[in-house]
Copies of this chain bind each other. A is one copy, B any other.
Amino acid sequence: MNNHTKMKIRKAASEIYEAFVDPDKIGNFWFSSSSERWAEGKTITLKYEEYNAQGDIYIKELQENEKIVFEWAGDHTVTITFKEEDHDLTVVEVIEEGFKEEDENLIDQLLDNKEGWVYMLSCLKGYMEYGADLRASLLK
């Protein structure tokens, strides 16, 4: 069971990849801060000041400008890939794995998770293409 979300972003893969791994950039489209530059084997603390929340992710694999794999939420694995179709058009794909079919809250978990990834990718697109700050505006 996994969640799978995919979006076209009009920017080079190298710039989009950098927006994730550079702690000065993530606050423009996703969490408010990241404790340090992402690197394989590191545990990074991500904070979401607006929701008074934080969590750790473990960076399992990095392929520069192409792929990021991390673990979070216990045993969930997130794979983000960057496929450059043109010098200024990249397909960014997020797959989160680890949902359990027998979990009684499975549907709510999947929907919350889908909401988060679609929103993150939309904010990333707005930031990359327009310098827009669209984050921290989803409500429950």
Measured CB to CB, the residues of A under 8 A from B are 3, 5-9, 91, 106-107, 110-111, 114-115, 118-119, 122-123, 125-126, 129-130, 132, 134, 137-140
Contact between B118 and A126 (Cβ–Cβ < 8 Å)? no
Q: Is the CB of A8 within 8 A of B119?
A: no
- Chain B residue at smallest Cβ distance from A3: B111
Instruction: State the CA gap A140–B118 with chains docked (Å).
Output: 12
Known: A114-B118, A126-B130. 4 other contacts (CB 8 A): A7-B138, A111-B114, A122-B134, A126-B126
Inter-chain contacts of A123 with B (CB < 8 A):
122
Distance, CA A132 to CA B127, complexed state (A)? 10
**Among A9, A115, A134, which residue has the most Cβ atoms of chain B within 10 A?**
A134
In the assembled complex, 29 residue pairs joining A and B whose CB atoms fall closer than 8 Å, in A order, are A3-B111, A5-B138, A6-B138, A6-B139, A6-B140, A7-B139, A8-B137, A8-B139, A9-B137, A106-B107, A110-B110, A110-B111, A114-B115, A114-B118, A115-B118, A118-B118, A118-B119, A118-B122, A118-B138, A122-B122, A122-B123, A122-B126, A122-B134, A125-B137, A126-B126, A126-B132, A129-B132, A129-B134, A132-B132
Distance of A98 from chain B, by nearest CB (Å): 16
